[in-house]
Structure 1
């Protein structure tokens, strides 16, 4: 009874053994996947679940290790991975604050400070209202480390939003087709969806930019379309400027509208035709 899953949306009634038998990555796949990733210029890594898996991955010169959410309480496993001095990616899907701190302390005891924490909710698929992305910034400040997102919601909105809040890494499940019967197909992205997520994140990264009030060259040109003061009726020399013959309209060839109150009641220095941008030379002070 201890090993039967209860209280989940997708896997109730299954044993942990049966679930992970379907979900685990066969060790022999690593050779081909490593070769393909390196050929494509991709960084590959894997999630070990015991010491023997780390030993195996070390023989493949695995460049980093991902500690899954349910293993964050396995301090001996984290210490063993940290001993390799490789970067560690630690998910926090079931973790309390003290669990996260203990995991980080385990890494520090091995003089491994290359750790990124992933905000995560171990509920599959995750409801949007349970994700609490605003925790990302607090997590980065509280633990003084890089943060990212391990996402199990449907769609791509949550990863894209996470990037705006400081996520430096996004983990998302991947499936070639939802016609394939896998335990995670309900919250995995197809190739087209994954590509769209990456495209959206890269665009958002560009859009985040920097804090600046400087205008781009295009904005400077756009200012030509701003409002300014124009004479909107023919005005004779000596005639008074009023709201009937001076208005704030586009484009920006006349005086700025902020001078309207100053100009009202003043007189024209000469005859002015309708449609003329108002300038100081036309006003008799």
Structure 2
């Protein structure tokens, strides 16, 4: 695959020339309620997102139950929480997955997930996941990257916190194990992430350095960063979403509400449409304006044989006469016939 190739996720083309593939990240915003998880799928579909992404793990597959200091979160939105406790609250129960995949198929939105171990990949394969996401924190787990790559489906890899060497190792591992369709997402793994630290110019650099498609996994507040990323060529935008931040939940504080998600989909679509192809040509919408450009007009009656001067010919609007650049050639010529005030000047009027 080259950086110009289009890949497909659940039938949707992803790549240059297509509006960004919008991934609505559910994460733990279901708040432990399957009905809310289903409502989140409906909300993402109504907002125009292309896909909903889950996270497939249990507290025991991602960490261990320990009270040691290493397993306590020191700061950030989850300050003071034990990892095992947090992940137990945030995880999407595996017994929900089949129902969520079935509902997504029913309403017509793609669904896939981030697996955190081999057993998660096995589950997602049984459900027919059309693609896989590797989270920023797992990108350095090269055996997991290799396991997912061997499935042979499109991979989306977040690069938060990673050095260039680490990104290179992940890309090399994915390709060596059969991945042919790869998207790298620039990401700042801070929740929420400060806009001034977003460094969006890394998006085209990721595409250039690694010969892949590049996009954005965004944890900033608002829509500014996704829109700017689109103008820099992001082919995919991932954003956490919730029904309402006031409902609470482990990720709600930095998630878009469903109406904001719809606004983002429209905004990045408009931003992509505004980019165009860079070709220098008159826009179709400008055609009606051409006649209002300046041109040379007769501004005083000119008898036949009289000299054309700055007093009787001027550059004015509208644009039906000769182009203003011809004024020096016109001055000093003679009128072949009587010219009337208000006539657009043409070559056949001059001797």
Q: Which TM-score applies when normalising by structure 1?
A: 0.91
Cα distance in 1 for residues equivalent to 2:172 and 2:321: 66
In the other structure, the counterpart of 1:109 is 176
Question: Whose RCO is larger (CA < 8 A, sep 6+)?
Answer: 2
State the 1:216 CA deviation: 4.7
- Structure 2 residue 195 is matched with structure 1 residue 128: yes
- Structure 2 residue 74 is matched with structure 1 residue 6: yes
In the other structure, the counterpart of 1:211 is 278
Q: Alpha-carbon deviations, 1:15-54, whole Å to 9, x = none?
A: 3233323332222221221011111222211111122222
In the other structure, the counterpart of 1:224 is 291
SS for the counterpart of 2:289 is helix
Q: How many residues align?
A: 283
In the other structure, the counterpart of 2:44 is none
Return 5+ residue gaps in structure 2 as ranges: 1-68
In the other structure, the counterpart of 1:44 is 111
SS for the counterpart of 1:195 is helix
Return 5+ residue gaps in structure 1 as ranges: none
State the 1:233 CA deviation: 2.0
Relative to structure 1, the CA distance from residue 137 to residue 224 in structure 2 (aligned partners, 3 Å threshold; closer, same or farther) is same
In the other structure, the counterpart of 1:275 is 342
Q: Give the 5 Å matches for 1:231-242.
A: 231-242=298-309
Q: 2:230 is matched with which residue: 163, 186, 198?
A: 163
Q: Give the 5 Å matches for 1:136-155.
A: 136-155=203-222
Q: 1:71 is matched with which residue: 138, 146, 160?
A: 138
Q: Give the 5 Å matches for 1:247-266.
A: 247-266=314-333
- Structure 2 residue 261 is matched with structure 1 residue 194: yes
State the 1:127 CA deviation: 1.3
More moved, 140-149 vs 23-32:
23-32
Cα distance in 2 for residues equivalent to 1:255 and 1:183: 68
Extract structure 1 runs of 4+ deviating beyond 4 A: none
In the other structure, the counterpart of 2:97 is 30
Q: Alpha-carbon deviations, 1:204-242, whole Å to 9, x = none?
A: 333333232333554334322221101112233343322
Contact 1:175 1:190 in 2 (8 A): yes
In the other structure, the counterpart of 1:97 is 164
* Higher strand content, 1 or 2: 2
SS for the counterpart of 1:28 is helix
SS for the counterpart of 1:148 is strand
Q: C-alpha root-mean-square deviation of aligned residues, in Å?
A: 1.9
In the other structure, the counterpart of 2:42 is none
In the other structure, the counterpart of 2:245 is 178
State the 1:151 CA deviation: 0.6
Contact 1:6 1:13 in 2 (8 A): yes
- Greater Rg, structure 1 or structure 2? 1
State the 1:7 CA deviation: 4.5
Contact 1:154 1:186 in 2 (8 A): no
Cα distance in 1 for residues equivalent to 2:283 and 2:82: 59
SS for the counterpart of 1:268 is coil
Q: Give the 5 Å matches for 1:52-71.
A: 52-71=119-138
